[in-house]
Amino acid sequence: MWHNQSLARRTATDFPGFRPCVNSNVSDSSTIEVDLKMEEEFELEMSPLCQDITDSGKTVRIEIYRGGGSNWHLEVVDEFNNSTVWDDQFPSDAAALEEVKSTIRDEGIDALIGMPS
């Protein structure tokens, strides 16, 4: 399962170890201050299998990475900077790459390309 999202809306919640903490300082009934904190710091490990894939004259960037865990995350970024992120994680970077290739083969590359911003 995957979903599209704008890169501008991407937050640390996409990564393990993220835990939002709500600060109780409320200035009025419509404003709540939110502090976002990481439980632990980690560096993203990018897979050497990250690559551009072109099909039918259209190109997407395949990003495969992990951080703070052993499973791999899969993200596809199109020419308009739209991001498609898989909800599932993968046991290997090769499995993640095979998943995106299978999606392009079965559904077409247009399934991973959003609207211009």
Q: What is the DSSP string of the chain?
A: -EEEEEGGG--GGGSTTEEEEE----SBTTB--EEEEESS--PPEEPTT-EEEEETTEEEEEEEEE-SSSSBEEEEE-TTSEEEEESS-BSSHHHHHHHHHHHHHHH-GGGG-----
What pLDDT score was predicted for residue 69? Answer: 82
pTM beyond 0.85? no
What would the pLDDT profile of 13-49 be if each residue is shown by its tens digit?
444 443 333 333 334 444 444 444 555 667 899 999 9
Alpha carbon distance 18, 6 (integer Å):
20
What pLDDT score was predicted for residue 12? Answer: 41
| Mean pLDDT, the chain, whole residue set | 78
Q: Confirm if 72 and 94 have CB atoms less than 8 A apart.
A: no
- The percent of residues above 90 in pLDDT, for the chain, comes to 59
Higher-pLDDT residue of 65 and 30 is: 65
